[in-house]
Structure 1
C-alpha cells in the first residue's frame, strides 16, 4: 500500500495527541505530500512544528467560522498543486454550556454553531474539493459511536455527529460518479483536546476499555493506519461507509 504521488489536506491538528496528527503521520509515512491547517495564531506554535516535521509545503490558517478562510485554503492548494487526492476533516465544536446540558435544553445558537463547525464544514470542504479531484479522490471525516446510540454525557454531539454521518452517505452517492469516495471513521474514545470538553471523560475511557472485546483503548496510530488504507488505491471500491476503529466496542449490546 502506497500513497506516493498523492496530495492531501489535513484539517484538525491541534497538538501531537490529535487524531488528525496520527492520520497525517500515517499518510506521510506512506509517501503522501500534505497541506496542513492550524486554527489560529494561538494554535500555530503547537501545529507548525508538527507540520514542518511532516515536510508540509503548505501550512495554512483555517477557522471555518471565519468568512473566506476555508476558501483561501483551497485556493492555495489549487495554486500550489492544481489538484487534490484526499482530505481529512477532523474538527468539531459545541459551546460548553450546550455540550454539558441536556439536548432538550440546548440553545438554538449553540445547536447551529455545533452543526456548522462539526458537520456543515465538511459539506463545504467536499464542494471545494470536488473540482480539484479531477481523477477522483477520498474525503474522510471523524465521528463517534454516540452518533448511533445514546452515550452518557455525549449530549449535543450525538445528534450533530449523526447528521455528519448521514451527510457523508448522501455526498458519497452524489460524488460517486466522479470517483470521489467519502467515509466516516468512528474511533473509540481517545484522550484528545476536543474530547476533554466532555463531562466525566476519564470514566468514559475506563468503561470503553472494559467493554471492548479486545479490552483496550485505541490510539491515534490505530486510527491513522485505517485512514491511510481508506485513501489508498486499495480502497477504490469502497464508499459511504462508517468504519469503526474501537477494538470492537460498537458490536457489544446494552
Structure 2
C-alpha cells in the first residue's frame, strides 16, 4: 500500500456518485484519500446532501457540490468550481446510474422510450459529458473511470434494460480512450461483482444474484467497495500508464466462469 501511496499522493480528482457509506463511489474516495489523493465530491440533491456531507468531512473534501446530471448547468458549474479551486484535474470517477423502476423490472423489448433515454442519459451520456469538461483540466494527462457490470457482456436475469445501457457505457469508454489517448488521458470501465449498494437494491431478486455470484466465483466470495477502490487507485497511478480502454473486472473471477 505504501508503494501505491507514493504514486497517488497529491493527485486531485472528482468522485461522483456518493450516496452513503456503502456506495462504490465512497469506497473509492476513502481508499484514494487514505493514499494521499485530494477528492472533490458531489451530492444529488438537498435530500442527499445530509448523508453526503458527513462523509465529505471524513474525506476532508475541499469541494462538495450539487450535481444532478439531468439539471442543465450543474455539471458546468462543478467543473468551473474545480478549475477555480485547483486549476487542474488528475482523475474523475463516474459511479452513477439510473433506470425507472417499471423499465428496470420489465422486459427490454417492452421498455419505454422515455425510460430508455433517461437511463442512457444518466448512466452513459453523463460520462461523455464529464470527459468533455475534464479534458481541458487534465493538462498533464489523467484518468477517467466509470462503473459497469457483468450484465453489459452477458445476459443476467433481472438486470434487464441496464444491460444494454452498460454495454453502451463500456463502448463509449473504448472510443474515448482512443480519442483522448494522445493527450495522455486514459479511460477505463471497472466492472465490480454484485455489491449490496442502494442502487443495486432496485434489481429484482438481488439476493439470489448475490448467492449465485458467491457460488460461481472461483474465490467463492463477494468483493467489497475497498477492493474496487484499490483497483481504481492502481488505474489512476502512473503504474498503469500504459493501460487504457479496458473493462477491468473486480469480481473474484466470476466473469470467467461459463
Common fold, TM-score beyond 0.5? yes
Partner residue in 1 for 2:235: 230
* Residues 114-158 of structure 1: per-residue CA shift (max 9 Å, x gap): 000000000000000000000000000000000000000000000
Instruction: Give me the whole-angstrom Cα distance separating, in 2, the residues matched to 1:89 and 1:229.
Output: 16
Q: Distance in 2 between matches of 1:131 and 1:27?
A: 23
CA-to-aligned-CA distance 1:38-89 (integer Å, 9 cap, x gap): 0000001111100110100000000001111111100000000000000100
Asked if 1:152 is matched to 2:131, the reply is no
| Gaps in structure 1 of 5+ consecutive residues | none
2:187 paired residue number: 182
3-state DSSP of counterpart to 1:28: helix
Q: TM-score if structure 1 supplies the norm length?
A: 0.99
Residue 178 of structure 2 is matched in structure 1 by 173
| CA offsets 1:16-50 (integer angstroms, 9 cap, x no match) | 00000000011101100110000000001111100
Structure 2 match to 1:99: 104
Q: 1:143 aligns with which of 134, 143, 148?
A: 148
Matched, 1:109 2:117: no
Question: What CA RMSD, in Å, does the superposition of the two structures yield over aligned residues?
Answer: 0.5
Where 1:42 maps in the other structure, the secondary structure is helix
1:133: which partner in 2?
138
Structure 1 segments (4+ residues) deviating >3 Å? none
Question: Hey, what does 1:84 align to over in structure 2?
Answer: 89
| Aligned residue pair count | 253
From 219, 241, 245, the equivalent of 2:250 is 245
Offset, 1:14: 0.3
SS of corresponding position for 1:43? helix
Which residue number in structure 2 is paired with residue 203 of structure 1? 208
Map of 1:21 onto structure 2: 26
